[in-house]
A and B are shown apart, each in its own frame.
Chain A
Amino acid sequence: MLAWLGATIQAVSAGALRDNPGRSALALLGVVLGVALGVAVHLVNASALNEFTLAVHSLSGESDLTIRGPRAGFDESAYPSVARLAQVHSASPAVESDAQLAGRRESIRIIGLDPFRAAQVQPRMFAAMENTVTGLFDPDAVLLSPSAAEWLGLNPGDTLRITVGTATVALKIAGLLPPGAYRQRIAVMDIAAAQWRLQRLGRINRIDLRLRPGTDVENFRRTLLPLLPAGTEAVTPDADIERSAELSRSYRLNLDMLALVALFTGAFLVFSTQVLSILRRRTQLALLRVLGLTRPALTGMLVAEGALLGMLGSTLGVVLGCALAAWVLKHFGGDLGAGYFRSVSADLQIAPAALAAYWLFGTAFAIVGAAVPAIEAGRRAPALALRAGDEEEGLNRLHTTWAGAGLIAAGLLLTLAPALNGLPVFGYAAIALILLGALLLMPRLTTLSLRRVPAWRFPPAMLAVAQLQATPRQVAISIGAIVTSFSLMVAMLIMVGSFRQSLDEWLTGMLPADIYLRAARGTDAGFLTPEQQENIAATPGVVRARFMRSRNILLAPERPPVTLLARPVDTTSGNLPLVSAPFTLPANAPPAVWISEATADLHGLHVGDELRLPIGAHPTMFTVAGIWRDYVRQTGSIVIDRESYIRMTGDRLANEAALWLAAGNTFAELEQALHLRLGAAAGIEISTSRQVRIESLALFDRTFAVTYALEIVAVLIGLFGVSVSFSAQALARRREFGVLRHIGMTRREIGMMLGCEGALVAALGVGFGLALGCLVSLILVQVINRQSFHWSIDLHVPWLALAALASVLVVAAIGTATWSGRRVMTGDAVRAVREDW
């Protein structure tokens, strides 16, 4: 008896799979895609981060402590005084510079080392250097890491041209660094050569220290700090890694979350598949109960089906994810678009723990998705289920309205919570709760809104409305599938659209001039000398020239450096996009600086606060006169009036110039004139403000490309969900279609009926999705974005794009519904009518 029952259970379970392999396959695909995406995104990020960690380790070697200064470096006199401290075993000074490649947009990091000293803290790097270095003392000699050589397509003996200031410096590639020592793209020079050739005489950027055995690193660090020049810090290599990892952490978390959304949508697919499959088999299941299957056993059987789906899908997903990650790393590198790991060429790091976690996630999500209807199925009275027309009854028990409302309320409360550890964890939790709550509200909302649908005269439409009104809970599942994916898409669209629009407006405000000129883009080796500045300003065709100096300074040792921008400030004309209320400096307050939102957030500063900046010979006090919006410098920036800056520091160099074109002059003419006047200034890059804008927006789009890709997958999974539930219902309604055919409905009319149903379901789903999406986008913009990146965004709803997407979704749903009905109708109506259950 038991064996027979077991066989029956198997038959019922396997039959469900066999009956609708397509639907099970779709649910499986949903899980596979969700898990694969999660795994891929995680692995790519983890590999890049791991690579980055390795890079930091290979750069700092076995050092116990690294003294690090701003980009412009600190005075080299710190080196002997630190090296002579009794606790210091060895001290290795270094010059670091991101030098722009001549004639290219990219830059390469050049590290100037004293090989004798470096060997004491980085033995491994030098151990493998046999026969690779010829003449490192030659001031033009440079060694490339293998990845840099490959990237640049250069070999030993070739010339590496970089831009220093506005001149081009040719360096001779004397050899390659050992393959194991550095995987990132770097060039190594002798420290003396680097100081000379990169115009860094007298300055160094870093000192790596190995301490004598038995020295307490933390104690020593504290005694060391007062001896260090202003603007430098002493950090352990781990702190260094931690700080750098922190920079990209929010972005990585964002991607992980998006991947999880895909997984969540996949789980919802399992849920809807199981709900519908159980509905379809309700009489079979009731029969099993009648035959003696206990309630827990029945529930277990149904959960096991979901678990099987989840495990299979997760396994395939993990494999697919690894392959996807390997492919991405091979073809696009470890950087997922945001530029945090630009110079890292990573190998795939398979992290078994992470893979296991995603496998468990996928399986658990699928089990939960299956458990909800399974528990319900177990509870149902078998006798009732044996009666026909019980489909909807079966769902009546999913009383979820109050739970849904509660979850949404809890989610809204969570949005008030601050960032945890610098991460918007509660923001994400809020979105998850609100999403889940909305799904739970769906049956109620569906019932309410279907009641309001007017009765249509057109018979197929009338039938469609009657069908939907009669089965609100089944409809709610379809709607839920749409809402899940569409709301997230809407939210992301609004967030990204708002961000893009805000950036666009910001760029317009920040780029008032016609032409921008900068020395060696994005690096710290390039600058314009005062003579060059005069020369530029005096160029015919230039009506007005404004110069800006930027450099990095350290505000707090445990925080990344902040960019100091010395430029003319005119708060009245709005050339600084202030977000704070106007502020009048008190009479005897220190001079004004304007800090970016990130600086305010990260360093806890407010308007009116006083702030000590390590510029000039001695740290000087300033007053925060305003907070401005800066979309460029995520670690914070501080604007100071250039006149005051020059007065305090004597630093008359500039990195950028904004030029206003005289009437009647063209950009091309001026560009040529500038190049002529500045002579062999290969390092000067001249662009129109339009070019800068286009370029910035292109960079923005590249950053969000991965986000778009993830969204599309989530939407695809959502459409799978719609398709699954439609095709499930179409199957369940085969007999009904048969009857309608008997009564005299044409195939076309039935198709139209299904199309109407699809349109209605999609319209409702899109409507709810839009509302939910707007809510979620508010959380993304106001909570998550702000906590992650510390800049504000003005809300702009891209209505046109949303309308287009909504229509696409509705059309897709109509298509899916019609298609699934057509598939069912190809089987003959006659047999369908005779099927008696």
Chain B
Amino acid sequence: MSFEDGGFTRLRIASRSRRRLLALLGGLLATPHVHGQTNRRAAPGTPYAQVLPGTPLRFPRDEGSHPDFRTEWWYATGWLESARGPLGFQITFFRTRPELKLDNPSAFAPRQILIGHAALSDPAQRMLQHDQRVAREGFSLAGASPDRLEVWVDDWSLKQEGGVLRARIPARDFQFDLTLAATQSPMLQGDKGVSRKGPQPASASHYYSLPHLRTQGTLTRAGRTEILSGTAWLDHEWSSSYLDKDAAGWDWIGINLEDGGALMAFQMRTPQGGKFWAGGAHRAANGEQRVFEPGEVDFTPLRSWRSPRTGTEYPVAWRIRAAGLTIEVTPLMDDQENDTRASTGAIYWEGAVRALRDGAPIGRGYLELTGYWRRLRL
């Protein structure tokens, strides 16, 4: 049933150009942290809600789904300690609202598409393991609650249960059952939760993060269940805007710092590899938050790894300067390449990284690198 053999997301939904490398769904999978551009293709009668600066976020209501927006995701990444060392995991739920004539009264009408994606980075496996589930909303088989965090595709789910988040992911090669408990208040990104993604003011998202989630639970692989614990990071972001067509890809990090602080930074690259836009924020353990201007963030590649499968070269180690803070990130393992050509049509790198300052570890988090295989065009 997986993407690998299925390839259903090659269905080019609502696409004008067949040349588009990433379609709506694929684009969501590959571009979780960046939006761009105004919505040029909204069909008449399908008004997508727009991100309006100054709209306050209210919890727990805003933990739930925002079905009027084109896209939304809950993106949990983190590190887990196993008996044989640390593991990285990523559990994501996407919601997308296709451009439709909304008047189809069918219960099957694809009003919302829900996608679950999960990956496990185990250095012992040397390779990323991942799996997906996709379904249209309806019949209670897949959906996202607008009132609180509850999103599910078949038996994959992420939901608020008794004050903690519960993620149940029975994927093909591994099965997670994790609780993620908040230890800090939500970290509102950008301007009080409105995050700019490009030079155009309309290109923005509602975005908050939950860093330092205390994570506990089980991982079952090949019939063997391990009890694990660790720290995770949840991004929740919704928007109706897309990536600017001048951007070729992006780099993103989200790091839980050992001092209790949290760091998020991203840059969007031009086709030449230069910085197109950038942003991020640092929140100290005491809750003091510094939001970065585009000019304050610099990504400098330190070391590259070439994928033996695709020949793509990824800068897997970086020096990142964000305002006054300079850190280096190095991967948990080099090969955390996601080959989703069969599904999203994209190949990208996303994996667990360590953050170091002056050679000393200061935190752990996730790094995402896109647009290195081929230029991403949205």
Alpha-carbon distance between A19 and B84 when the two chains are bound, in angstroms: 94
Question: Restricting to B266-303, which residues have a CB under 8 Å from any CB of A?
Answer: none
CB atoms of B5 and A192 under 8 A apart:
no
CB atoms of A139 and B15 under 8 A apart:
no
- Are A137 and B106 also in contact (CB < 8 A) when A83-B139, A117-B135 are? no
A196: B residues at CB distance < 8 A: 104-106, 109
B61 to chain A, nearest CB (A): 27
Question: Restricting to A186-212, which residues have a CB under 8 Å from any CB of B?
Answer: 190-193, 195-196, 201-202, 210
Question: Restricting to B108-133, which residues have a CB under 8 Å from any CB of A?
Answer: 108-110, 113
Give the residue name and chain of the A residue nearest to B17 (CB). A134
- Are A192 and B101 also in contact (CB < 8 A) when A126-B6, A126-B7, A129-B11 are? no
| Interface of chain A: mostly helix, strand, loop or mixed | mixed
B6: A residues at CB distance < 8 A: 119-120, 123, 126-127
Asked if B141 is at the interface of the complex by the 8 Å CB criterion, the answer is yes
Alpha-carbon distance between A345 and B331 when the two chains are bound, in angstroms: 56
Asked if B107 is at the interface of the complex by the 8 Å CB criterion, the answer is yes
Alpha-carbon distance between A580 and B113 when the two chains are bound, in angstroms: 58
Asked if B140 is at the interface of the complex by the 8 Å CB criterion, the answer is yes
Asked if B8 is at the interface of the complex by the 8 Å CB criterion, the answer is yes
CB atoms of B7 and A134 under 8 A apart:
no
CB atoms of B100 and A134 under 8 A apart:
no
CB atoms of B8 and A137 under 8 A apart:
no
Asked if B18 is at the interface of the complex by the 8 Å CB criterion, the answer is yes
Alpha-carbon distance between A89 and B139 when the two chains are bound, in angstroms: 16
CB atoms of B13 and A119 under 8 A apart:
no
A76: B residues at CB distance < 8 A: 107-108, 139
CB atoms of A80 and B141 under 8 A apart:
yes
CB atoms of A130 and B101 under 8 A apart:
no
- Are A210 and B108 also in contact (CB < 8 A) when A80-B141, A119-B8, A134-B12 are? no
| Interface of chain B: mostly helix, strand, loop or mixed | loop
B110: A residues at CB distance < 8 A: 137, 190, 192
- Are A89 and B1 also in contact (CB < 8 A) when A83-B139, A130-B10, A192-B110 are? yes
CB atoms of A202 and B107 under 8 A apart:
yes
Alpha-carbon distance between A119 and B6 when the two chains are bound, in angstroms: 5
Question: Restricting to A337-388, which residues have a CB under 8 Å from any CB of B?
Answer: none
Asked if B64 is at the interface of the complex by the 8 Å CB criterion, the answer is no
B134: A residues at CB distance < 8 A: 116
Asked if B136 is at the interface of the complex by the 8 Å CB criterion, the answer is yes
- Are A80 and B139 also in contact (CB < 8 A) when A129-B10, A137-B14 are? yes
Asked if B78 is at the interface of the complex by the 8 Å CB criterion, the answer is no
Alpha-carbon distance between A190 and B13 when the two chains are bound, in angstroms: 12
Asked if B98 is at the interface of the complex by the 8 Å CB criterion, the answer is yes
CB atoms of A123 and B5 under 8 A apart:
yes
Query: Among B7, B12, B154, which residue has its beta carbon within 8 angstroms of that of A127?
Result: B7
CB atoms of B11 and A114 under 8 A apart:
no
Query: Among B18, B99, B100, B139, which residue has its beta carbon within 8 angstroms of that of A79?
Result: B139
CB atoms of A123 and B105 under 8 A apart:
no
- Are A193 and B104 also in contact (CB < 8 A) when A123-B5, A131-B18 are? yes
Question: Restricting to B1-59, which residues have a CB under 8 Å from any CB of A?
Answer: 1, 5-8, 10-15, 18
Alpha-carbon distance between A137 and B108 when the two chains are bound, in angstroms: 11
B106: A residues at CB distance < 8 A: 191-193, 195-196, 201
CB atoms of A195 and B1 under 8 A apart:
no
A419: B residues at CB distance < 8 A: none
B16 to chain A, nearest CB (A): 8
Alpha-carbon distance between A90 and B110 when the two chains are bound, in angstroms: 18
A89: B residues at CB distance < 8 A: 1
A62 to chain B, nearest CB (A): 10
CB atoms of B15 and A127 under 8 A apart:
no
Alpha-carbon distance between A269 and B220 when the two chains are bound, in angstroms: 75
B139: A residues at CB distance < 8 A: 76, 79-80, 83
Asked if A84 is at the interface of the complex by the 8 Å CB criterion, the answer is yes
A754 to chain B, nearest CB (A): 76
B10: A residues at CB distance < 8 A: 126, 129-131, 133
CB atoms of A135 and B104 under 8 A apart:
no
Give the residue name and chain of the B residue nearest to A77 (CB). B139
Give the residue name and chain of the A residue nearest to B108 (CB). A192
CB atoms of A137 and B98 under 8 A apart:
yes
Give the residue name and chain of the B residue nearest to A191 (CB). B108
A810 to chain B, nearest CB (A): 70
B136: A residues at CB distance < 8 A: 114, 116, 192
B18: A residues at CB distance < 8 A: 131, 134
A465 to chain B, nearest CB (A): 82
CB atoms of A116 and B141 under 8 A apart:
no
B3 to chain A, nearest CB (A): 9
Encode contact with B along A113-125: 1 for CB under 8 Å, 0 otherwise.
Answer: 0111111100100
Alpha-carbon distance between A83 and B153 when the two chains are bound, in angstroms: 12
B108: A residues at CB distance < 8 A: 76, 93, 114, 190-192, 195
- Are A84 and B141 also in contact (CB < 8 A) when A116-B136, A137-B110, A193-B104 are? yes
Interface centre among B106, B110, B139, by most chain A C-beta atoms within 10 angstroms, is: B106
CB atoms of A116 and B105 under 8 A apart:
no
Give the residue name and chain of the A residue nearest to B19 (CB). A131
Alpha-carbon distance between A192 and B5 when the two chains are bound, in angstroms: 24
Interface centre among B5, B11, B110, by most chain A C-beta atoms within 10 angstroms, is: B11
A284 to chain B, nearest CB (A): 73
CB atoms of B101 and A123 under 8 A apart:
no
CB atoms of A116 and B98 under 8 A apart:
no
Asked if A595 is at the interface of the complex by the 8 Å CB criterion, the answer is no
Query: Among B1, B12, B15, B107, which residue has its beta carbon within 8 angstroms of that of A120?
Result: B1
Give the residue name and chain of the A residue nearest to B25 (CB). A116
- Are A126 and B141 also in contact (CB < 8 A) when A116-B134, A137-B100, A196-B106 are? no
Alpha-carbon distance between A717 and B184 when the two chains are bound, in angstroms: 95
B171 to chain A, nearest CB (A): 13
CB atoms of B7 and A123 under 8 A apart:
yes
B109: A residues at CB distance < 8 A: 192, 196
Alpha-carbon distance between A49 and B339 when the two chains are bound, in angstroms: 40
Question: Restricting to A162-203, which residues have a CB under 8 Å from any CB of B?
Answer: 190-193, 195-196, 201-202
A54 to chain B, nearest CB (A): 20
B99: A residues at CB distance < 8 A: 137
Query: Among A119, A192, A210, which residue has its beta carbon within 8 angstroms of that of B7?
Result: A119
CB atoms of B1 and A192 under 8 A apart:
no
Give the residue name and chain of the A residue nearest to B101 (CB). A139
Query: Among A117, A127, A136, which residue has its beta carbon within 8 angstroms of that of B5?
Result: A127
Interface centre among B15, B99, B104, by most chain A C-beta atoms within 10 angstroms, is: B104
Give the residue name and chain of the B residue nearest to A130 (CB). B10
B7: A residues at CB distance < 8 A: 119, 123, 126-127, 129-130
3 closest cross-chain pairs (CB), A and B:
A119-B8, A192-B108, A80-B139
A to B CB contacts below 8 Å, 23 in the list: A76-B108, A79-B139, A83-B141, A93-B108, A115-B11, A117-B135, A120-B1, A123-B1, A126-B10, A127-B6, A129-B11, A131-B10, A131-B12, A133-B10, A135-B15, A136-B11, A137-B98, A137-B100, A139-B104, A192-B104, A193-B104, A195-B108, A196-B109
Binding site for B on A (CB under 8 A): 76, 79-80, 83-84, 89-90, 93, 114-120, 123, 126-127, 129-131, 133-139, 190-193, 195-196, 201-202, 210
